[in-house]
């Protein structure tokens, strides 16, 4: 995958997560409390950070928000 494709994929996931949060009426701060982490870490995960912790948070968020995919 090229750098441009990676950026586009990260942007798509960010949009998908933000829309799902709005649809479920959950703030990033509330999500952080649900996941027992800080709001900054949730924001990093949403923005596409590839650290193991961010990847784990995205996976948990997708489950909570009923988002399919990896």
Q: Which pLDDT score, from 0 to 100, does residue 60 have?
A: 96
Q: Which pLDDT score, from 0 to 100, does residue 6 have?
A: 82
Give the confidence band of 10 by pLDDT, cuts at 50, 70, 90: confident
Secondary structure (DSSP) of the chain: --HHHHHHHHHHHHHHHHHHHHHTT--HHHHHHHTTS-HHHHHHHHHT--SHHHHHHHHHHHHHTT----
Q: Which pLDDT score, from 0 to 100, does residue 55 have?
A: 94
Domain ranges of the chain: 1-25
pLDDT in tens, 30-48: 999 999 999 999 999 999 8
Q: Does residue 27 surpass a pLDDT of 90? A: yes
pTM attached to this predicted model? 0.85
């Amino acid at each position: 995958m090229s750098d441009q494709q990676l950026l586009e994929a990260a942007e798509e996931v960010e949009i998908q997560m933000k829309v799902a949060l709005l649809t479920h009426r959950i703030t990033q701060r509330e999500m952080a409390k649900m996941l027992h982490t800080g709001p900054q870490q949730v924001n990093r995960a949403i923005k596409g950070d590839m650290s193991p912790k961010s990847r784990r948070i995205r996976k948990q968020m997708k489950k909570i928000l009923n988002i399919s995919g990896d």
